[in-house]
Each structure stands twice: as structure tokens, then as C-alpha cells.
Structure 1
Amino acid sequence: MGKHADAEAFSRKLASLKRDGCNVLVVSDAAGRDVACERLLGAPELDRRHVFLSTSSDVNTILDRHAPRRTDANSVGVIDATPGSYTRSAAASAASTDVDTAGPTGGLVDEAWYERIDDVTDFEALLAASRDALDRVSTAADTAGDVRFCLDGLDPLFDAAARADADEQALFRFLHAVTSRVRSVDGMGHVHVSADIDDRRLATFEPLFDATIRVETDETGTVSQRWRLHDSEYVSDWFEL
């Protein structure tokens, strides 16, 4: 299970991961998912730069998570691999306050922060789009940890693999490549998966990450988390999100 770490030792290890770039796997129930995501993206008052690879959340929801930060290509990247289609009105409603949403002809600005991938199993396209977005937003980042990456659901990718629409080995290679890219820009990435992930898949994919966060919601609605740092095998206490 791992060894328990006192709060000071655990904080030092976690700070070191953030400085060097890291990725965490978030294993959560449905109720705790959004709370965990918001915390990992950084407090709203902090100038974090975000890259979202979405397999389940629509663009408006993603931009709400990014708010109140600027919505421009140097501040955010959205790779939309959801089954639905994007409506361009999202850009007008959430565009940066210092960027005009309409040009001289009344058309919307070009959303350079947005890329649509129609096939969620096209891992080459997903990786290329993720790399481009990470490289772009990281050029304006000031310190390690400023760049935050979110893949909001592994479950649709696992479902595709179960239907034989995708090769699970190809999915592993994709995740290895994208998490490596996050580390290379000194970013902090997190990838969501549901709490009912089977043990085999967890054992296969968990080593790609620097830590695993378990998130649970009790009967009162209180959301709690517990961290396990893979390298040191340190395990935190359960604490409220």
C-alpha cells in the first residue's frame, strides 16, 4: 500500500514533483471529479495556463473551468475529442476581456486555442494537438507548475479499446508520450478515470504517472482525497478537498 509520510515530508516530496514537472492519475467517484479537477487546475486568482484534452466535457464547461483567466492561444488550449460538435458561440461568450470577439465584418475571432479531433482513437492526432498546445502555452509561463494539463476522461478511451476500435498498447504509448511532454515543459498534468477501473488496467497504466489521487465522497457530500507518490511510495492521510 505504501508508507505513511508525515505532513512535512510529504509536502517536500510533492513540491519537488511540481518543480520538475509531474503527472497524476485521479481515480474518483463521479461526485468528487469536478472538485478534484478544479483544485488541480489551480486557484482562480493564480495565472495558470491550461491545456484541456476533452473526451467527455463540452467546450463551455471547459472554459468555465479555465475562467476567469484570459481565453487566448497563449493562455489556454482545448483539444475537443468529445462525441458532440463545438458551437462557435462559446468563443464569443468566453473570449478574453481584452480581445475583441468580433472583427470589422462582425465575424468571430479565430479560436486559435481550439482544435477539434473527430476520432477519439486517433492517438497520433491527439498527441500532435496536445504537444502543440503545451508548447504554445508554455512559452508564456513564468515558473514551473504554471502549465496545467487535464485529460478529463480515460474511460471513453478504455471503452473504445474494449470495442476493439483502438489498440490498448497504442493508448499506452499515447499516454506515455503526452505525460512526457507535460514534464518537459515543467507542467503539472492530471488524468481522470472512474473509481471502477479494473485492477488490470490500473496496474498497467498507473506506472505512467508520478502519483495517484484517490477521491471519495461520503454520505454527507464531503469530498476527500488521498495521495500516493509512486517513487517514494509515500501515502498521505485522507483529507478534505
Structure 2
Amino acid sequence: MTTELRFRGGSNARFSKWLANLKQVGSNILVTGEVPDSVSAQASRNFFGCADRRFRVLGLTDQSITSAEARLPDETSSDDPTTWIIDQRQGERSVPATASGVTDELNPLQTDDARQLREEVQTAISFYDEQADGLDPAELRVGVDSLSPLVQQDLNATERALQTLGETVRGVQGMAHYHLRVPADSEIVEDLMHLFDARVELRKRPRRDPEQRWYAPDIDAATPWMGL
């Protein structure tokens, strides 16, 4: 049975140690919960975070998304050379000017194509890894929003893409988050969870701020609900 971690003073040593390890070795995190787009965007901003040197890759597939920029921290934009956006919804890319030679060799973007999205994200990761002369732990952040169109189109192809992409992210000690706006007890969550290192559940109750709850399979534990 999963143990719920009881936080005192806003922290828990066991959870903090586990999370610190994820940042060092690389991780892939599944984000679930039926929440408004604004809550998903806020969660993405948190995952992308701010640092003196950070590289962000954002893949967009869901037609319900209203803004790519809303998913980036306030201090960054799609024009930053450290930001790479793959927008399957519009068939568009926003990449660093120095990457134009790399993207010239890529095929036009298709909608709901898990294999192509995986290849595009891997291209961005390779580019930043080379530009940085090796990425430090947690410097690379990847976000995919959302998996829903991909699994609806081809579940098996999506699983294969996630397996390979997850290995690439861990290979550079990066951190990736993948949104799937479904309830935590959905069958698809159970089907996909073996591909991820952790899960974060989001919720938004009326007249209350958004909240999050972390599930840590490695230590068989979950946090209480916390502010997002």
C-alpha cells in the first residue's frame, strides 16, 4: 500500500532526497488530472523553472492549448536561443537561429504523430547537448502537452516513442514532463505509468488555488495535496 508522506514545516526529508536524486539522474514525469488549460500551463512553468543556464524543449499537440508562451517562465520567451518549440497543432517550429541548418533536414510537422514528435525532441536535445558541450544535471527541461491526441491516434506508437524519448532524457540527466489531462484512476494512466519515474496529479477546486500531489513509485509514497 502506498504510504502518504506527512509534511511538517512544508518539507519532508524522504521526499526531498528522492526528488534531488531525480534531478541528478534524469527523470520523466507524468502529469495527470482533469484541469483547465491555465492550470496545466502553470504546472509547465514550474517544471521548466528558472536558472542561469537552462535549455527548454516544448512539444505541443493538444488543440485545446491556447498559448505556448503561457507554458514558459516569465523571464523567457519563444525567441530565446535556449527555447525550442515544436508545435504539431500548427505545423510550426520556433528554434534558435543557429539551429536552422539542423531543422532544414527535418520533415514538415504532422499532427498527432508520436514518432515524429520523439524525433524532433531528440533533435533539439542533441543540439543543446552539443551547444553546451555537455549538459549538467537538470539543465535540460522537456515538456509535452499533451499525450492525449497521441494515444488516441496510436497507443502502441506512443508507448514506443515515450520509451525511447525517456531514455534520451535520462541519458543527458534531463527532466521531462508529459501532460495527460485524465483522472488519476483512468486505465490509460495505469497502462503508461511503467514508462515514467513519477507522477504528479493536478486539481482545481472551485474558489481555491490549483493544487498538486506527487506519487513516488521508487519509495512507494505519495505527498499530501500542496499548492501548485
Which TM-score tier does this pair reach, normalised by the shorter chain? 0.7 to 0.9
Indicate the residue corresponding to 2:58 in structure 1: 52
Equivalent of 1:75 in 82, 86, 96: 82
Which letter does structure 2 place at the counterpart of 1:201? I
Alpha-carbon distance, 1:65 to partner? 3.5
Which residue number in structure 2 is paired with residue 25 of structure 1?
A: 30
Q: Which amino acid aligns with 1:118?
A: Q
The answer to whether the 8 Å contact 1:59/1:80 transfers is no
Contact map agreement 1:27 1:194 (CA 8 A) in 2 = yes
Aligned to 2:140: 147
TM-score, with length taken from structure 1 = 0.77
Moved more, 194-203 or 149-158: 194-203
Q: Say which of 189, 198, 204 aligns to 1:211.
A: 198
List alignment gaps of at least 5 residues for structure 2: 7-11
2:139 paired with 1:133: no
Q: Which residue of 2 aligns with 1:14?
A: 19
Verify the 8 A CA contact 2:32 2:200 in the aligned structure 1: yes
Q: Which moved more, 1:217-226 or 1:139-148?
A: 139-148
Change in CA separation of 1:46 and 1:28 when aligned onto 2, cut-off 3 Å: farther
Partner of 2:9: none
CA distance in 2: counterparts of 1:197 and 1:214, whole angstroms: 7
Q: Secondary structure of 1:182's partner?
A: helix
Partner Cα distance (1:34, 1:79) in 2? 16
Aligned-residue Cα RMSD (Å) equals 3.0
One-letter amino acid of the structure 1 residue matched with residue 121 of structure 2: S
* Alignment partners' CA distance in 2, 1:229 and 1:46: 28
Contact 1:57 1:152 in 2 (8 A): no
Contact 2:33-2:184 within 8 A present in 1 as well: no
Q: Distance in 2 between matches of 1:232 and 1:203?
A: 18
Pair 155,58 (structure 1): closer, same or farther in 2 beyond 3 Å: closer
Aligned length: 214
| Structure possessing the higher radius of gyration over alpha carbons | 1
Gaps (5+ residues) in structure 1?
97-108, 161-165
Superposition pairs for residues 1-241 of structure 1, below 5 Å? 2-6=2-6, 7-31=12-36, 32-43=39-50, 46-56=52-62, 61-66=67-72, 68-69=75-76, 75-82=82-89, 84-86=90-92, 112=100, 116-121=108-113, 123-139=114-130, 140=132, 143-160=136-153, 166=154, 168-196=155-183, 199-241=186-228
Between the aligned partners of 2:35 and 2:136, the Cα distance in structure 1 is 32
Deviation at 1:124, TM superposition (A): 3.2
Q: Deviations over 1:86-126 (max 9, x none)?
A: 4x9xx6xxx98xxxxxxxxxxxx6873977512422x3322
1:5-51 CA distance string (max 9 Å, x none): 351110010100111000110002333211111111113x5532101
Letter in 2 for 1:56: D
Instruction: State the identity as a percent.
Output: 23
The residue type paired with residue 3 of structure 2 is: K
Do 1:77 and 1:137's aligned partners in 2 also have CA atoms closer than 8 Å?
no
What is the deviation of 1:156? 1.0
Distance 2:197 2:110 in 1: 30
What TM-score comes out, normalization by structure 2 length?
A: 0.81
Provide the secondary structure at the position in 1 that maps to 2:119: helix
Instruction: Pick closer, same or farther for the CA change 1:197–1:117 going to 2, 3 Å.
Output: farther
